Amino acid sequence: MQLNCPKCGADISDSYEPDDRECGVNGGWYCTACDLGIGEHEVEREPFDDDIPIMTAREFRGDRPFGVPISELASQPGPPDDIGHPDHARFEWFRRIARSWGFD
């Protein structure tokens, strides 16, 4: 990838230095003609075919709420004689979440 100085247009592709966290130095490119440092975050990166798209939760879920509303969980099952009672499904949802936390 060829990178040109945004100020003078010189080719600065070979001037890249990586971050040096021990010294607190952020990496990037340097133009000796302009005495100008260009950080990595300032350069538009050309996307590759195998890049993984990053999206926000709102883009992924739309207007659906994030997480489970407490009103849709029940810590006890519904009446034993009414298997169609909504608390049976809420209790199973509660148990599934509890199992994911390592509880039985």
Task: Give the tens place of pLDDT for each residue, 29-75.
Answer: 888 888 888 876 555 666 778 877 787 777 777 777 777 778 888 88
Does pTM top 0.85 for this prediction?
no
Distance CA 26, CA 48 (A): 24
Q: Are 79 and 85 in contact (CB under 8 A)?
A: yes
Scanning the chain, the segments in alpha helix (DSSP H) are: 57-61, 86-100
Is the pLDDT at 90 greater than 80? The verdict is yes
Per domain, the residue ranges of the chain are 1-46, 67-100
Q: What is the pLDDT of residue 27?
A: 79
- Round the average pLDDT of the chain to a whole number and report it: 81
